[in-house]
Structure 1
């Protein structure tokens, strides 16, 4: 998916403005939750979303959806990662 497609879907599905987030190489956040659904688009690098259901890896152009109130930890691959995330 191209960044423009992400923006079209984000707006059509009622998500708020997207925020760009960068992760340092091999970094991992502490486990946490968000009170909104997160729609994520990977701009570059490898983004790993660790949940109780697994740790899928996403690369450039890929998207993922994280439901509200799901405990997770965000992780980046060896080159780091840059994502856009929009919530509703």
Structure 2
């Protein structure tokens, strides 16, 4: 998906805040939750999300979606990752 299309989609779906997130190469975050719904577009690099034991790898152009308080861990690729994320408060 293209960045402009993604931003339009977020607006249509009621995501109030958009943030650019950048993570270091080969880093990770252990299992955690967020107090908001998140939908993100990968701009550079890659990341793998582990949600309920299911690991999914996301690369440039892919979109991932996490519900409010959905437990997950994150692992970033060898080049790190940069993504644009929309956040919606529950």
Classify the TM-score, shorter chain.
over 0.9
The corresponding residue for 2:31 is 31
**Paired residues of 1:23 and 1:75 also in contact (CA < 8 A):** no
User: As a proportion of its length, which structure holds more strand?
Assistant: 2
**Paired residues of 1:48 and 1:57 also in contact (CA < 8 A):** yes
List alignment gaps of at least 5 residues for structure 1. Answer: none
The corresponding residue for 1:77 is 77
For residues 10 and 60 of structure 1, what CA distance do their matches in structure 2 show?
18
1:6-85 mapped onto 2 (5 Å cutoff): 6-85=6-85
Shift in Å, 1:16: 1.6
Deviations 1:34-63 (A, max 9, x none): 122110110010111111141101111110
Shift in Å, 1:75: 1.5
> TM-score, structure 2 length as denominator?
0.91
Aligned length in residues: 88
List alignment gaps of at least 5 residues for structure 2. Answer: none
Structure 1 residue runs of 4 or more that deviate by more than 4 Å after TM superposition: none
Provide the alpha-carbon RMSD of the alignment.
1.0
